Chain A
């Protein structure tokens, strides 16, 4: 992020924070792989893996939005040092989510993959969500946001909101009885949107 200036001790703490966050993001993936190999995922591991990666990835993406919003609302740009890391981790999870569906659940049978993609709305919505995300990790470096100028970069990265919205729709369509998780995610997303919309208003009111 462009606007995080570190005090003297800053870089080391920042590095430590990034490291811890990186570990926290990678640990569930490592656990999933271990559980899969150890046969801990039950008798339909493909399903367990696809669901886990999707739920966790969408949660991480939402968390990325929450972090960005908090940094904005609290005027604490330092929070943003974790922003690219979370975003990239979310992208990795969601990409693996799609790949595990195609590879483990559809066993790379292109006929089945095509059939399902054509017939099932939630898969189309999910794919749109993932495709929208592709530009974001590609432009998440500090350099690019400088180079492009803040405005263009911020506009591009608003795709994150569209992707989360599409991801939530995808999750909503496939949920059928227990809506606990989608509701939690939706409340989080609604809070982010509300804060984003209300903060400028709040600042103008205060400025008067």
Chain B
């Protein structure tokens, strides 16, 4: 079984093979690790629970150096406009979100489309811990221990057709559960998109947990995207639909302010933003400021995806 597939593998690149080898290690660790071995059972239809612990997984290839941001910070400092625009609004209001039952629609350019109960989706996957840097376009950042699985694994199971060039993601739209959707602050539902090679990249995951627990609602429960080399708004939360398509989708923030929120949204200290200076960032929980790294420090894994693209134009 091939764990992942680069769209244009080049012999000069060591990374893919390296990742490939490590990838098998994850699987081995998943199978042998006691906590993780127990985890999938939690997600089976019979033992469905949103309060269960997913267990601690061993660090992976993508584990970030540096201290993890305190869990309390990750849970209380959020951008999730469906629950309000204040940083603490999601924490206060997200309890209204019903994450069980949850269904996920997979549609468009796939051979196997349909709407699936989340438990039926998750039973195919074992989870990995991925400690990733998250860089928000607002010039703050965190280091978050996600629990999830590669998006590529899910997409491949649904067999993308040759016309699948982009993946579009959609958040739940239900003002009863997401009170700020009653207000016209964004064009609901929230939408995001990735190019197919970005979506299939092994760094791109669907997360279902953090710090070994299921995702808190305000962090995008029950299932969210995490794309660590892009600004946080790309990592869409509480996903109800994944649609593969030939045309490039327009994401919500891009439609709102195209000059500020590009489709690619790659973390890049050199590319100017009219609102926040992208050269530095505040790591939440730290006193000082850090210099922002291009590709949020994941350049060795992803820079090749954008070769020949002027990232100041394709923002």
Contact = CB atoms under 8 A, between A and B. Distances in A.
Interface string A116-140: 1001111000000000000000000
Contacts of B10: none
B272 interface: yes
B87 A42 contact: yes
B279 A107 contact: no
Interface stretch (A4-12, A70-78, A150-158, A173-181): A173-181
Contacts of B284: 43-44
Closest 3 CB pairs of A and B: A43-B73, A178-B85, A177-B185
Interface band, chain A: 20 to 34
B94 to A, nearest CB: 16
Nearest to A46: B282
Nearest to B180: A178
B285 interface: yes
Contacts of B289: 106-107, 109, 112
Interface residues of B, number: 28
A109 B279 CA distance: 13
B65 to A, nearest CB: 21
A112 B281 CA distance: 10
B275 A173 contact: yes
A42 B88 contact: yes
Interface of B: 70, 72-73, 76-77, 81, 85, 87-88, 140, 183, 185-186, 256-257, 260, 272, 274-275, 277, 279-280, 282, 284-285, 287-289
Nearest to B257: A176
A176 B115 CA distance: 34
Contacts of B88: 42
Contacts of A44: 77, 87, 140, 282, 284
B277 A119 contact: yes
Nearest to A177: B185
Contact of A177 (B76, B186, B277, B282): B186
Given A44-B282, A177-B186, A122 B275 contact: yes
Contact of B287 (A107, A115, A120): A107
Interface string A88-124: 0000000000000000011101001001100111100
A100 B127 CA distance: 43
A119 B272 contact: yes
Contacts of A174: 275
